[in-house]
């Protein structure tokens, strides 16, 4: 059934269809609608789940950790300060190899207080070991939830779904709602081999000496290494049932492109419109959306970008003292294999609009700059 | 033949990593005798995170989930929810934390779980400092005590926080204190808690010879004297915080006899000891007054 819903509710419908068994969350703008609708669904029986209404995000993730270790499918959603407060427990979920799914609505971090979008919250969790998938439309958000559970459960790794504040969370779009009866065929009930169970006792997370710790970390990286194939396979299975699918990356008009703009999140859709405009003018440009950020699809990215003459990365984030974070990732994906210039552009922090005009400005600069002085360029800063 | 009062079954093995005379290990041993094999545990950072043994060994024959320092209560709540949603409604889930993980860093999550009345048993084994990290003060450290962060020139001036009153303010179904010097009492209280639903809080006084600068063989004696000197009252609060019963059926002993054998109080002058004695007496009288007052509320007689 098709419905016009906001991005936040697309998350809730995805969770309903995935039959999560334990949900624990704490309110924060702009994520709040996700948990409001979920608590309604739990109350009216649309979802057969326990909703633990905790006193903080740190506890929300701890509750998910406990529930998942006990063998139940667990979900939470948060944003910005909430995600940062969870940080310790994000690590815990990875170390304990728990397939928790979290939806993060990208919101800028304070101070100063901001409720508007940028990616510094999720990207500052880059190295904890969560898979990260950046979505662009409400349909993609909904569909990615059951995919995320399946990926997570196959890898025994937690997955974060990321979406822009307001541009997605509060924007209404048509979504083909998926139902649990259909999803069951795609996503079987969660039956972990090892869980907290008095009939089959295990001790989880005991002190491990230098003799063991490193092997456990190696196994996490191994799971990440398998991640890209699992994501592709899971997407294919989803596509077979629902007729929709999403790539690790999404190239747009890249085949003969001399300049490629690299994007993520909702900036990607705006960029495509600008690409069409430039193509109409005869300019050979294309764009590449990075959807899966962790594990990073290095080969896929290289495949597309190595054919271009120049790459321009748009970052709605900044790693202070270095560069935009996607910029750094792209640079390391291409390192030593090509010498095409890679330019970085910081735009849209704290929810500032990244309009077609802004993207046009970036494209013009990127195409025009033969040997740019700066590899990091701030767009639209009034200083 | 009459069944023994204390079950002979052991769920905790002897191959643990605690120091000699550790009260915390006794506490666990007795608690598990009462709770039995259908129990799952979660333990945050504390001495017990080490006592259990290093990977891949565990001294406890039960599922244990080690969790982050401040999350024992909510992790337990998550485990309980996870088990229930899988159809296991029977397993008792117990959070087992130190005083640091209870009074300080874990207080928020504990308060959250207690307010929601999550169906868990929460245990604070109280050794009155952060022992795992090398004897630093916690808000459970008593006035006068030395720790590595309250050196003798600047020993702890602040009184021990009243954790029991904090928990009572949450109106949970069961609150009890006990001491490892009375195994039967410990076991009875855990048995009682096991039969109840909701958040049950048990506070066990568990001496730490290492952190108290005490001879290991005096550990149990101190656990007894803490009670008989009225430093650590044994009590139960039932009826969702409405009914308080204080145990008074013992021969009182002087506070000094409790403090003197412990190196952590060695620096205290006679005057300072007098002050502590007065304080203990005042707190004891206040507790008895509260018991009386609560019993006098219409409907609670
Ligand atoms: C967030 C965090 N901060 C600090 C620590 C270090 N730490 C581990 S155990 C501990 C003290 C534990 O004290 P308590 O709860 O009283 O248990 P005990 O060691 O006395 O048994 C501390 C400070 C930690 N593990 N996590
Ligand atoms: S330091 Fe104290 S609490 Fe910790 S194991 Fe040793 S005796 Fe027990
Ligand atoms: Mg302690």
For ligand 1, the distance from its centroid to the CA atom of residue A333, given in whole angstroms, is: 41
Asked if residue B4 has pLDDT above 90, the reply is no
Q: Tens of pLDDT along B63-86?
A: 999 999 999 999 999 999 999 999
- For B23-36, write each residue's pLDDT tens digit: 999 999 999 999 99
Contact B79 A62 (CB under 8 A): no
Name which of B78, B106, B170 to mutate to probe chain A: the one with the most chain A Cβ atoms within 10 A of its Cβ: B78
Torsion of CA A294, A295, A298, A301, to 10 degrees: -50
In chain B, count H helices and then E strands.
11, 8
| Ranges of residues in chain A whose predicted pLDDT is under 50 | none
Report the pLDDT value the prediction gives residue B300, as an integer from 0 to 100.
80
How many Å apart are CA A344 and CA A262, to the nearest integer?
9
Note the pLDDT tens digit of each residue in B130-156: 999 999 999 999 999 999 999 999 999
**Cα–Cα distance for residue pair A144/A126, rounded to 1 Å:** 19
Q: How far is the CA of B280 from the centre of ligand 3 (A)?
A: 21
Q: In chain A, list all ranges with CATH 3.40.50.970.
A: 2-242
At A344 the pLDDT is 94
Which of A49, A65, A96, A203 to substitute to test the interface with B, most B CBs within 10 Å? Answer: A203
- Assess contact for B187 and B11: CB atoms under 8 A: no
Residue nearest to atom 8 of ligand 2 (CA): B22
Inter-chain contact A65–B75, Cβ cutoff 8 Å?
yes
Residue B126 CA, closest ligand 1 atom number: 16
- DSSP, collapsed to helix, strand or coil, labels residue A214 as helix
Instruction: Find, in chain A, the residue whose alpha carbon is nearest to that of B113.
Output: A54
Q: Is the pLDDT of residue B3 over 70?
A: no
**Mutation choice for ligand 2 from B208, B212, B217, B218, CB with most ligand atoms inside 8 A:** B208
Q: How many domains does chain B have?
A: 1
- The ligand placed nearest to the CA atom of residue B222 is 2
pLDDT surpasses 60 at B1: no
User: What is the full DSSP assignment across B189-241?
Assistant: HHHHHHTS-S-EEEEEE---HHHHT--GGGHHHHHHHHHHTTSS--EEEETTT
Is A201's Cβ below 8 Å from some Cβ in B?
yes
* C-alpha distances in Å from residue A192, one per residue of A22, A82, A154, A240, B89: 15, 28, 10, 25, 18
Total beta-carbon pairs less than 8 A apart between chain A and chain B: 157
Using CA atoms, how far apart are residues A63 and A76, in angstroms rounded to an integer? Answer: 9
What H or E segment, with its residue span, contains residue A287?
strand A285-290
Q: What residues of chain A lie within 8 A of the CB of B109, using their CB?
A: 54-56, 58-59, 62
- State how far residue A35 is from chain B, nearest Cα, in angstroms: 17
Render pLDDT for B229-279 as a digit per residue (tens, 0 to 9): 999 999 999 999 999 999 999 999 999 999 999 999 999 999 999 999 999
What global pTM score does this model have? 0.97
* CATH number for the domain harbouring residue B118: 3.40.50.970
Cis omega before residue A253 (within 30°)?
Answer: no
Q: Considering the domain A2-242 in this protein, what is its CATH number?
A: 3.40.50.970
The answer as to whether B10 is a domain residue is no
Report the range of poorest mean pLDDT among A305-314, B6-15, B193-202: B6-15
Residues of A in contact with B85 (CB under 8 A): 21-22, 48-50, 67, 72
A70–chain B Cβ distance below 8 A for any pair = yes
CATH 3.40.50.920 in chain A: give the residue spans.
250-378
B45 domain-assigned: yes
A55 and chain B in contact, CB less than 8 A: yes
Tell me the CA–centroid distance for residue B177 and ligand 3, in Å: 16
Q: What is the pLDDT of residues A26-50, one digit of tens each?
A: 999 999 999 999 999 999 999 999 9
Q: Do A54 and B108 touch (CB under 8 A)?
A: no
For ligand 2, atom 6, name the residue with the nearest CA.
B19
Contact B55, A206 (CB under 8 A): yes
Please state the φ and ψ torsions of residue A360, each to the nearest 5 degrees.
Answer: -60, -40
Does ligand 1 have an atom closer than 6 angstroms to the CB of B148? no
In angstroms, what separates the C-alpha of B107 from chain A's closest C-alpha?
11
The number of the ligand 1 atom at minimal distance from the alpha carbon of B140 is 16
User: Is B7 within the bounds of a domain?
Assistant: no
> Is the CB of B141 inside a 6 Å radius of any atom of ligand 1?
no
Q: What is the pLDDT, as a whole number, of residue B215?
A: 97
CA A35 – CA A82 distance, rounded (Å): 14
- Note the pLDDT of residue A371: 61
**pLDDT the model gives residue A370:** 61
The CATH number of domain A250-378 is 3.30.420.40: no
Query: Domain range spanning residue B262?
Result: 23-295
Phi/psi at A46 (5° precision): -65, -30
């Amino acid at each position: 059934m098709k419905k016009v819903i906001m991005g936040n509710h697309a998350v809730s419908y995805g969770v309903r269809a995935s039959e999560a068994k334990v949900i624990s969350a704490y309110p924060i703008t702009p994520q709040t609608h996700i948990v409001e609708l979920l608590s309604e669904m739990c109350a009216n029986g649309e979802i057969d789940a326990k909703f633990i209404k905790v006193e903080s995000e740190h506890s929300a993730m701890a509750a998910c950790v406990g529930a998942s270790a006990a063998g139940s499918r667990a979900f939470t959603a948060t944003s910005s300060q909430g995600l940062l407060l969870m940080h310790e427990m994000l690590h815990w979920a990875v170390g304990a190899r728990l397939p928790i799914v979290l939806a993060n609505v990208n919101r800028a971090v304070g101070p100063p207080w901001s409720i508007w979008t940028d990616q510094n919250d999720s990207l500052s969790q880059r190295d904890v070991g969560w898979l990260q998938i950046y979505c662009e439309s409400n349909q993609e958000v909904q569909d990615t939830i059951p995919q995320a559970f399946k990926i997570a459960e196959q890898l025994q790794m937690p997955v974060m779904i990321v979406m822009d504040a307001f541009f997605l969370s509060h924007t209404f779009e048509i979504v083909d709602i998926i139902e649990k009866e259909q999803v069951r065929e795609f996503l079987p009930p969660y039956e972990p081999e090892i869980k907290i169970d008095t009939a089959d006792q295990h001790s989880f997370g005991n002190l491990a000496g230098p003799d063991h710790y490193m092997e456990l970390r190696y196994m996490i990286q191994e799971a990440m290494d398998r991640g890209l194939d699992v994501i592709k396979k899971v997407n294919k299975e989803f596509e077979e049932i629902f007729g929709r699918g999403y790539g690790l990356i999404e190239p747009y008009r890249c085949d003969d492109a001399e300049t490629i703009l690299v994007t993520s999140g909702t900036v990607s859709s705006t960029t495509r419109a600008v690409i069409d405009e430039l193509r109409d003018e005869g300019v050979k440009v294309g764009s590449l959306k990075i959807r899966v950020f962790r594990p990073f699809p290095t080969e896929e990215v290289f495949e597309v970008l190595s054919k271009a003459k120049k790459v321009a990365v748009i970052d709605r984030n900044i790693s202070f003292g270095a560069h935009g974070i996607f910029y750094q990732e792209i640079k390391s994906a291409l390192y030593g294999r090509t010498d095409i210039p890679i330019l970085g552009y910081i735009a849209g922090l704290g929810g500032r609009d990244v309009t077609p005009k802004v993207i046009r400005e970036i494209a013009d600069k990127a195409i025009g700059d033969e040997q740019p002085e700066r590899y990091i360029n701030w767009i639209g800063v009034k200083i | 033949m009459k069944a023994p009062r204390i079950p002979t079954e052991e769920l905790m093995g002897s191959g643990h990593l605690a120091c000699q005379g550790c009260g915390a290990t006794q506490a666990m041993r007795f608690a598990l005798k009462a709770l039995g094999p259908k129990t799952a545990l979660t333990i945050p950072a504390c001495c017990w995170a080490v006592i259990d043994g290093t990977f891949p060994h565990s001294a406890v024959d039960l599922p244990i989930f080690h969790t982050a320092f401040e999350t024992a209560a909510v992790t337990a709540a998550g485990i309980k929810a996870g088990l229930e949603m899988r159809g296991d409604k029977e397993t008792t889930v117990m959070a087992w934390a130190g005083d640091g993980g209870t009074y300080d860093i874990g207080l928020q999550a504990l308060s959250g779980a207690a307010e929601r009345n999550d169906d868990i048993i929460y245990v604070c084994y109280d050794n009155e400092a952060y022992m795992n990290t090398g004897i630093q003060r916690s808000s459970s450290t008593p006035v006068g005590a030395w720790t590595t962060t309250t050196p003798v020139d600047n020993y702890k001036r602040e009184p021990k926080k009243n954790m029991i009153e904090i928990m009572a303010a949450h109106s949970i179904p069961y609150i009890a204190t006990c001491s490892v010097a009375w195994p039967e009492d410990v076991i009875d209280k855990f048995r009682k808690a096991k039969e109840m639903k909701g958040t049950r809080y048990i506070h066990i006084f568990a001496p730490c010879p290492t952190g108290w600068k005490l001879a290991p063989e005096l550990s149990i004696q101190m656990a007894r004297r803490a009670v008989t000197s009225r430093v650590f009252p044994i009590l139960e609060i039932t009826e969702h915080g409405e009914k308080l019963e204080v145990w008074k059926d013992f021969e009182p002993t002087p506070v000094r006899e409790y403090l003197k054998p412990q190196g952590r109080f060695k620096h205290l002058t006679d005057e300072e000891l007098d002050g502590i004695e007065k304080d203990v007496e005042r707190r004891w009288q206040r507790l008895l007054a509260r018991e009386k007052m609560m019993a006098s509320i219409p409907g609670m007689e």
